[in-house]
Amino acid sequence: MKRCRYPLAALAGGLLTLGSAYGFSMDQQVVVASQLVHTVRVGAGGYSPEQRVAQINDRLNTIISKEALAPSNIQLRWVGGEPGIFVGKYLVTSVTQADAQANNTTKLDLAKRWLRAYRQALPQARPDSNWGVKGR
């Protein structure tokens, strides 16, 4: 049996290629409070996946500073025939048909999945953000 001379290097190389095996980069991931909320796999509206994530991050910066982050304030609303994730009055992102196809699901099911993830992650982004929530 032949032994590998550099087993740690082989392991590290395998781990480094694992992310690219899924076909997306860290720049395509929306992360809130150290939690992966969703991956933007396709472009939309003339924006690349990376540009969409940058736009979402810009919106989240505004939202985190201005809105209550309680799960009840994070909602699904329809905008121009597409489901959108809103925090208060602010749109975070919409879910396109291309997003749904890239995730092998429907727009509504994907929007519900993303909504659950935002409801879980956003309150952790600013732990004191439960102002305006009944019982506090």
pLDDT in tens, 50-103: 999 999 999 999 999 999 999 999 999 999 999 999 999 999 999 999 999 999
95, part of any domain: yes
13, part of any domain: no
5, part of any domain: no
pLDDT band for position 129 (cuts 50, 70, 90): low
**Residue scoring higher pLDDT (64 or 133):** 64
Total number of domains constituting the chain: 1
43, part of any domain: yes
100-126 pLDDT per residue, tens: 999 999 999 999 999 999 999 999 998
76, part of any domain: yes
17, part of any domain: no
Q: How many CA atoms lie within 13 A of 36 on its CB side?
A: 8
The b-or-e profile of 24-39 (16+ CB within 10 A means b, else e) is: beeebebebeeeebbb
At 7 the pLDDT is 38
pLDDT at 4 > cutoff 90: no
Which residue segment(s) compose the domain that 34 sits in?
25-125
Average pLDDT over residues 23-39: 88
112, part of any domain: yes
136, part of any domain: no
Place of tokens 């540009």: 51
pLDDT band for position 127 (cuts 50, 70, 90): confident
Return the SS3 of 79. strand
